[in-house]
Structure 1
Amino acid sequence: ILSLKLSDLVTCTLLRVFDFRPGVDVVVLSFVAAMNSKLSLSFAVLRRSSSFWSHVKMGPPDAILGITEAYKRDKNPKKINLGAGAYRDDSGKPFVLPSVKEAEKRLLERNLDKEYAPISGLPEFCKLAFNLAVGEQSVVAKSGRNTTVQSISGTGALRVAGAFLANFGTQKDIWLPTPTWGNHKAIYDHCDLKVHFYRYYDPKTCGFDSRGCLDDLNNIPKHHTVLLHACAHNPTGVDPSIEQWREMAQLIKSHDLVPLFDFAYQGFASGDINRDASALRLFIEEFQFPSLFIAQSFAKNMGLYGERVGALTLLCDSSEEAERCLSQIKILIRTMYSNPPVHGARIATEILSDPQLRSQWS
């Protein structure tokens, strides 16, 4: 510390920090004086401890969404975005479905409020989403055995399912197909589930590896969870035939495994929303699985990307069991995001509940 004495200066106080970067010396210059008195000038060099977050490493960009960010930065007029799939018009501009525009117009005319949704989401939306997946005439749709909640799109549905499995699953293991959507493993790693892989795609034939898949499923221990792409497998687009699905269902049920259907592309595989639900409905109706998960997304098939509209269903053995599971899922949701947004779910509800809009959409 260096001190200098001066006199006959006015009263002043000054504190100046010259450098305050993490791990760098901090130089402090201070004046303390009084009228007609001596001035003390002090320099102090202090050592500041390292930043709390100096140990944090730069994370890699997302493999899919990172491409979109790079696309936005690129000034080349001939650029093409091969990142996240989204509807575009002939000029490459975002395209909103006519049914979505009409539904949104109707909602705005009603001057609806912006109150919180229930923790489990909008009840009518949950009912319509579940019926879309299993079929309105399905026995299970009228049984009360399902607990369905609105989710933050498909990713949110998968994440809540993972949290439920981590808290209440008798086994904390989940099996993913090879390959699978890039975010699946990260989601379940963050749920502290043990992630395993089963064979699915054969690069030699560019088709479904039926034998490899069945062999791997046959060796999965009881009560593990198996993630299945309900249709339009991401990223290969290769789906099993209905007979191959039947073989898979037999093995999965005989080993007491829990199916988790990722249903992000209903309507995209065949162009028919009911045909694309064939595998899921096979598990429910023909094989009568006592328990399975359905993670739905309306981002793709309604183009509601930014609205984050989805649903998670847990099919249970009884309506009483479904009520208990719902109570615990709501607790998990409350700690994650409290309750879901309403606007996108209202759009989806309007489309699914109105025959004219639904026909236009599907």
Structure 2
Amino acid sequence: MLSSLRIASRRAVAARNVSALRAASTWANVPQGPPDAILGITEAFKADTFPGKINLGVGAYRDDKGKPYVLPSVLKAEDKVIQSRLNKEYAGITGVPEFTKAAAVLAYGADSSALNRLAITQSISGTGALRIGGEFIKKFYPGAKAIYIPEPSWANHAAVFKDSGLTVHKYAYYNKATIGLDFEGLLADVNKAEPGSVFLFHACAHNPTGIDPTPEQWKQIEQAVKNKGHYSFFDMAYQGFASGDIHTDAFAVRHFVEQGHNICLAQSFAKNMGLYGERIGAFSVVCADAAEQKRVDSQIKIIVRPLYSNPPIHGARIAAQILNTPELYEEWLKEVKEMADRIITMRALLKENLEKLGSKHDWSHITSQIGMFAYTGLTPEQMAGLAEEHVYATKDGRISVAGITSENVGRLAEAIFKVKG
């Protein structure tokens, strides 16, 4: 028998070996990732006990009471889907056909020449559409495996394209001095880029600035892109939600196609239908002809299959009901305009309240910008000052106009006036 001393010694050795194994864990060298800015805002907002606190970091529509809003047309469409007692079989790799066909018509227009030569797939909202597009460009684009995105752009754009294997470049977009579009810088960068470069354009309601080119400026951008032989990738996350009119918001996409560009497009139905958690989107490529469409479609399926096999069906069925049922479609058009109009009204009220307080600053950019987000022109230090006033938003001065209500707009203006004057 082993002595008690020897047993104790062996136990000590075993304990040291376990400790060594723990120290040499497979994931011991995984670094801590940087904090998420929006999550940080949300946590700070929740921890604040001040009754008049304001959250302007949220990237989802809110009603005038600051509550999440489900569109009545969505509720009706969902009831129809549920009452239909449809099966839960897999969708095809490219999704629910009734949805993708209607999504294409919504984006390109019912009379578009693109519809008969379009390769389209349902995606995991707009983010998934961008990722499919990035993968497709990486595999098949004959030019440089790179993409130009605006500076600034939606925070996830660079990450999506880098993870797709593309090199990400920036082109001028925001003029800090005017809090407006740097149109000359944008055109200069389009003209300086290597011929045949890929450019990402926000179709409408540029995120994060809310600054869009005018139709005339879009025409000049199109001409510059054509002259250099560049390829255009559009991200349209806010069709209808920006101006309140689906055709106005699709102007750039449709103009480029009309001028002969075989673009690709990422669509999202999170904002304009309020289907945030359903993750409904579409990715499409305008092809030269039906034969090319068939080949492109086959390769999109090959990309999608190992990513997520096939997309979810419930939200796509809801969107399809709205887009394909005339009375629901008309109701939805009115509702999306009401959401856009509320955003426009909050912009006007914020500007009006700031001017009433005696601010000498020019706040015209608040109303000239469009969509859910606004660039205030406030510095990181001033945004920190807003947080001390119980107003929470990102440090770059971006605010979500959806977080403004008729009840809190006065106090928001007072907080901005306090830090900016």
CA distance in 2, matches of 1:28, 1:262: 64
8 Å contact from structure 1 (residues 3, 43) kept in 2: no
1:309 aligns with 2:283: no
- CA 1:168–1:90 in 2, change beyond 3 Å: closer, same or farther? same
Q: Which residue of 2 aligns with 1:205?
A: 178
2:166 matches 1:193: yes
The residue number in structure 2 matching 1:32 is none
* Aligned with residue 36 of structure 2, among 62, 68, 80: 62
Where 2:265 maps in the other structure, the secondary structure is strand
Structure of greater Rg: 1
1:110-133 deviation line (CA, Å, top 9, x unaligned) = 111111111100111111001100
Separation in 2, partners of 1:69, 1:114: 37
CA drift of 1:221 comes to 1.0
Task: Report the Cα offset of residue 5 of structure 1.
Answer: 8.6
Determine the C-alpha separation between the residues in 2 that align with 1:217 and 1:139.
26
Deviation at 1:69, TM superposition (A): 4.8
CA contact (8 A) 1:293 1:312 kept: yes
For the 8 Å contact 1:151–1:157, the answer to whether it is kept is yes
Residue equivalent to 2:253: 280
Is 1:160 aligned with 2:132? yes
Q: Please state if 1:4 is matched with 2:10.
A: no
**Cα-Cα RMSD:** 2.1
On the 8 A contact 1:224/1:257 being kept in 2, the answer is: yes
CA distance in 1, matches of 2:236, 2:287: 18
Amino acid at match of 2:146: D
Unaligned runs of 5+ in 2: 334-421
1:218 aligns with 2:184: no
Shift of residue 208, structure 1, vs aligned partner: 1.3
Pairwise CA distance, 1:259: 0.4
Q: Give the Cα–Cα distance (whole angstroms) in 1 for the partners of residues 288 and 43 of structure 2.
A: 45
The Cα of 1:28 is off from its aligned counterpart by: 6.9
Larger mean Cα displacement after TM superposition, 87-96 or 103-112: 87-96
CA contact (8 A) 1:222 1:256 kept: yes
The answer on whether the counterparts of 1:65 and 1:83 sit within 8 Å (CA) in structure 2 is no
Output one character per residue of 1:146-195: Cα deviation in whole Å (capped at 9) or x when no partner.
10100000000001100111111222010001111011111111112111
Q: Normalized against structure 2, the TM-score is what?
A: 0.74
Indicate the larger mover: 81-90 or 156-165.
81-90
- Aligned to 1:296, the other structure's residue is in SS state strand
Partner residue of 1:180 out of 147, 153, 163:
153
Structure 1, unpaired ranges of 5+? 7-14, 17-26, 30-41
Q: Secondary structure of 1:274's match?
A: helix
Matches within 5 A, 1:109-128: 109-128=83-102
| Partner of residue 19, structure 1 | none
The within-5 A match list for 1:1-362 is 3-4=3-4, 29=11, 44-47=14-17, 48-49=20-21, 50-72=24-46, 74-141=48-115, 144-170=116-142, 171-285=144-258, 287-289=259-261, 291-362=262-333
1:53 partner letter: W
TM-superposition CA deviations, 1:12-58 (whole Å, max 9, x none): xxx99xxxxxxxxxx974xxxxxxxxxxxx97444233100010111
- In 2 relative to 1, CA 126–66 (structure 1 residues): closer, same or farther, beyond 3 Å? farther
The whole-number CA distance in structure 2 between the counterparts of 1:271 and 1:326 is 32
CA contact (8 A) 1:87 1:96 kept: no
User: How far apart are 1:68 and its partner, in Å?
Assistant: 3.3
Q: Give the match for residue 373 of structure 2.
A: none
Q: CA deviation at 1:316?
A: 1.1
Give the match's secondary structure for 2:55.
coil
Summarize the Cα distance change of 1:61–1:28 in structure 2 as closer, same or farther, 3 Å threshold: farther
Aligned partner of 1:79: which letter?
Answer: K
Letter in 2 for 1:204: A
Relative contact order (C-alpha < 8 Å, sep 6+): which is higher?
2
Question: Which amino acid in structure 1 is aligned with residue 92 of structure 2?
Answer: P
Partners of 2:13 and 2:221 lie apart in 1 by 76
Number of residue pairs aligned between Structure 1 and Structure 2: 327
Q: Tell me the CA shift for residue 81 of structure 1.
A: 2.2
Q: Deviations over 1:220-244 (max 9, x none)?
A: 1122210000011111111111111
Q: Which moved more, 1:42-51 or 1:127-136?
A: 42-51
Q: Which amino acid aligns with 2:328?
A: L
Instruction: Report the Cα distance in structure 1 between the residues aligned to 2:10 and 2:330, rounded to whole angstroms.
Output: 72
Q: 1:98–1:208: structure 2 CA closer, same or farther, 3 Å change rule?
A: same
Structure with the larger helix share: 2
Cα distance change on mapping 1:318 and 1:84 into 2, 3 Å: farther
Structure 2 CA distance for partners of 1:65 and 1:333, relative to 1, 3 Å: farther
